[in-house]
Amino acid sequence: MVELAREADGSFALGHGGDTFYTAIYLSRCGADVAFATALGKDSYSDGILEAAAAEGIATDLVLRIDDRVPGLYLVETDENGERKYEYWREAEPARQLFELPGWDHIAEELVAAELVYLSGITLSLYSNVGLGRLLAALEFGRERGAKIAFDSNWRSRGWRGDEQRARAVFSEALKRSTHALPSFDDEAKLWGDATPEATVERLITFGVREIVVKNGSQGALVHADGKNVRVSVPEVIKPVDTTAVGDAFNAAYLAARLKGENPEAAALTGHRLAAQVMRHRGAILPRPKGEGGRKRR
C-alpha cells in the first residue's frame, strides 16, 4: 500500500508498506531470493511501489497490473511509547482481486514451485471465497511438493469486519497447509483466547504445523521444533522508538536464517537482533548502508 507516516513535526512522509512487503524487504536484505506477488494499478503510486521493490532486489514479475485502479492507502502515527496506530483506505485496492485477475494461474504455479511461501492473516483478509480457494489450493499443492509454507496470523479485526468466526475458519485452513507458524501471542490471545504461548503452540500443533515461533514482545519467543519447546530470550530489553514492522522483520530474519541452515533457536536469536534494530528506528524500514544497491533476484 501507499503509506503516509506522521513525522515528529506533524508533517507526513510518503512511503510504501504492508506487513508482507516489509518481510519481503528484510528477507531480501538477509540474502534470500525474493519475489512479491500482488496486484497494482497503472498509476504513478503503483510505479513507486514497484521501484521500491526493485531497489531492494525483489522480483516483481508476479505483480499484476490493472487499469483505472490505485493501491490502498494507510496512515500511521506513533505515540510516545513507540506504539503505532493505523487508519486504512483499501476497499478498492487491486490486491484484493489478485487470484481473480487474468494471470492468477501463473502466480499459483509459481507459489507451488517456490522453496518458501510467506503470507499473513492480513493477506487472507483481502480475498473473496473464490480467491481464497485458489490460494489455499496452491499452498496445498506447494506443501505436497515440498515447499515451506510460513504463516503469521497478524490478526486485525478491522480487516475481517469483526467476523472472528470467519477469520478462525480461514486461518484454520491456512494452518493446515503451513509448515511454519510465526504468530504474535497477543494476536492469538485476542482471536483464540489462548492463555499462554504454550497454549498457542499446543493448538497450532493440532493443525499439523511442524515448526512454531510464538513472538511475545520483551518476553522473547517460544520456539517449538523437533517436538520440544524452547524459550529464546531477547538479548536486551529496550524502549522502542517505533514498533512498526518489528514482527515482520523478526519473521524475515528467522526464515532467512533457517533457509541458511541455522537451527531454530539460533534463528530466533537472529530475529530478535534484527527486530531490536528496527525498534530503535523511526519508521518500518531501516536505511540501507551507503553503497548498497538493489540486487536482481528470482
Residue 248 catalytic? yes
Beta bridge partners of 2: 16, 73
Quick one: which of 14, 6, 7, 22 has its CA closest to 245? Answer: 22
Handedness of CA 155, 229, 176, 21 (dihedral sign): positive
- What are the CB-based long-range contacts (under 8 Å, 24+) for 192-198? 192/168, 197/222, 198/222, 198/229
Q: Are strands 228-232 and 63-65 parallel, antiparallel or unpaired?
A: unpaired
Dihedral (Cα; 231, 235, 236, 238), 10-degree rounding = -80
Contacting residues for 244 by C-beta, under 8 A, at least 6 apart: 76, 78, 84, 278, 283, 284
Task: Specify whether the CB–CB gap between 134 and 104 falls below 8 A.
Answer: yes
Contacting residues for 278 by C-beta, under 8 A, at least 6 apart: 242, 244, 245, 246, 249, 284, 286
Rounded (5°) CA angle 228-230-235: 165
Can you list the positions of beta strands (E) in the chain? 2-6, 12-16, 38-40, 63-65, 73-78, 84-89, 116-120, 148-152, 180-181, 211-215, 221-225, 228-232
Q: Letter for the amino acid at 293?
A: G
| Three cell numbers written together for 205 | 500443533
Catalytic residue list? 248
